[in-house]
């Protein structure tokens, strides 16, 4: 079934001369890379701080669980399992579940849950974007239907689980301490698990590993760093930074503009430069941890202090 479906899409790509390849690659890219945290940052810094903080936590939890599943089941990509498959572009890592589907379900699902009832066109758009993202991963040949369905199901399920957990935490002062404590414990357990477990070592006809577990573990380290960074960053901002949203629209736009530049520089310049110079897998963990602390604590502390010094124009009542 998987093979027939992917081959059908492949034949369509060939028949149309790849006319839709760029479109679906771009749809796919909107839920990964520098875009993973962009929506959460915009909400957190300038639109709806509570929803933004929730989205940070939700994406971090989902990606943490996604890596746990990937590194547990170690399912190979479709073109490794089926030699007939020729993807539009290759992708690293194990296949199950789809990380793009998990992340898009977290992002689009959160917006849908938070704003969908009041803004139905926006909710419908979020559903369309999620479905397009899922389909794009099949269309370009890097995931099976099971990969994207399970990924989206995981993402959406955790949206509602996290909503309930968030409501429970908000009911009583002091419960927020659970988040950083759980983050530390779960991160340590996860790192020990992925570092000590066994991985398949299958070789291709060229004598090379079909998938190098060491490279795949690096992805796990990165999302573990993100998970710990969000767990601690959320708590530190909530308790000690507590930046205000009662500022002018121009101030909020400035926050997002400067913040977007920071994300691009960190993702496109700092991380490649450091990982290129130091190949240790733990470097990825430290870099992603530092990135989330930067986005959730350091940058908000800087702009809140700067705004207080220069006296930003308050938002209109």
Question: What percent of the chain clears pLDDT 90, i.e. is strictly above it?
Answer: 70
Q: So what's the pLDDT on residue 311?
A: 64
Given pLDDT bands bounded at 50, 70 and 90, which one contains residue 317?
very low
Global pTM exceeds 0.85: yes
Render pLDDT for 240-287 as a digit per residue (tens, 0 to 9).
999 999 999 999 999 999 999 999 999 999 988 988 777 677 898 999
Render pLDDT for 146-182 as a digit per residue (tens, 0 to 9).
999 999 999 999 999 988 888 898 888 889 999 999 9
Angle, in degrees to the nearest 10, between helices 120-139 and 21-29: 120
Q: What three-state secondary structure class fits 209?
A: strand
Given pLDDT bands bounded at 50, 70 and 90, which one contains residue 92?
confident
d(CA 294, CA 229): 9
Q: So what's the pLDDT on residue 33?
A: 73
The secondary structure of residue 177, as a DSSP letter, is: G
- The angle subtended at Cα 203 by Cα 191 and Cα 68, nearest 5°, is 25
Given pLDDT bands bounded at 50, 70 and 90, which one contains residue 188?
very high
Whether 210 and 76 have beta carbons less than 8 Å apart is answered as: yes
pLDDT value at 291 more than 90: yes
d(CA 3, CA 82): 7
In sequence order, the 6+-apart residues with CB closer than 8 A to the CB of 56 are 37, 40, 44, 230, 233, 234, 292, 296
Question: What percent of the chain clears pLDDT 70, i.e. is strictly above it?
Answer: 97
Render pLDDT for 110-125 as a digit per residue (tens, 0 to 9).
999 989 888 999 999 9
Q: So what's the pLDDT on residue 208?
A: 84
* Dihedral class, residue 88 (left if φ above 0, else alpha if ψ from -120 to 50, else beta): alpha
Average per-residue pLDDT in the chain?
A: 91
Render pLDDT for 59-87 as a digit per residue (tens, 0 to 9).
999 999 999 999 999 999 998 888 899 99
Residue 74 has a CB neighbour count (10 Å cut-off) of 18
pLDDT value at 314 more than 70: no
**Assigned token pair, 54:** 């929730």
d(CA 230, CA 40): 11
């Amino acid at each position: 079934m998987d093979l027939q479906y992917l081959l059908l899409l492949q034949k369509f790509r060939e028949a149309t001369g790849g006319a839709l390849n760029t479109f679906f690659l771009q749809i796919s890219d909107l839920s990964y890379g520098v875009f993973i945290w962009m929506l959460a940052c915009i909400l957190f810094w300038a639109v709806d701080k509570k929803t933004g903080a929730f989205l940070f936590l939700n994406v971090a939890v989902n990606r943490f669980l996604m890596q746990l599943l990937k590194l547990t089941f170690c399912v190979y990509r479709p073109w490794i399992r089926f030699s007939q498959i020729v993807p539009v572009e290759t992708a690293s890592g194990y296949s199950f579940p789809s990380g793009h589907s998990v992340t898009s379900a977290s992002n689009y699902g959160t917006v849908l849950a938070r704003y969908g009832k009041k803004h139905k066109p926006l909710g419908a758009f979020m559903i369309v974007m999620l479905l397009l993202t899922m389909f794009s991963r099949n269309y370009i040949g890097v995931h099976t239907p099971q990969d994207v369905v399970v990924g989206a199901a995981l993402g959406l399920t955790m949206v509602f689980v996290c909503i309930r957990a968030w409501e429970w935490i908000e009911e009583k002062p002091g419960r927020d301490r659970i988040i950083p404590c759980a983050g530390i414990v779960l991160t340590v357990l996860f790192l020990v698990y992925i570092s000590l477990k066994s991985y398949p070592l299958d070789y291709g006809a060229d004598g090379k590993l079909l998938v190098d577990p060491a490279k795949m573990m690096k992805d796990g380290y990165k999302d573990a760093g993100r998970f710990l960074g969000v767990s601690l960053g959320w708590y530190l901002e909530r308790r000690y930074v507590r930046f205000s949203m009662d500022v002018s629209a121009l101030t909020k736009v400035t926050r997002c503009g400067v913040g977007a530049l920071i994300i691009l520089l960190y993702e496109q310049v700092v991380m490649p430069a450091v990982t290129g110079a130091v190949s240790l897998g733990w470097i990825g963990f430290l870099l992603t941890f530092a990135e989330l602390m930067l986005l959730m604590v350091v940058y908000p502390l800087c702009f809140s202090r700067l705004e207080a010094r220069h006296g930003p124009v308050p938002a209109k009542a």
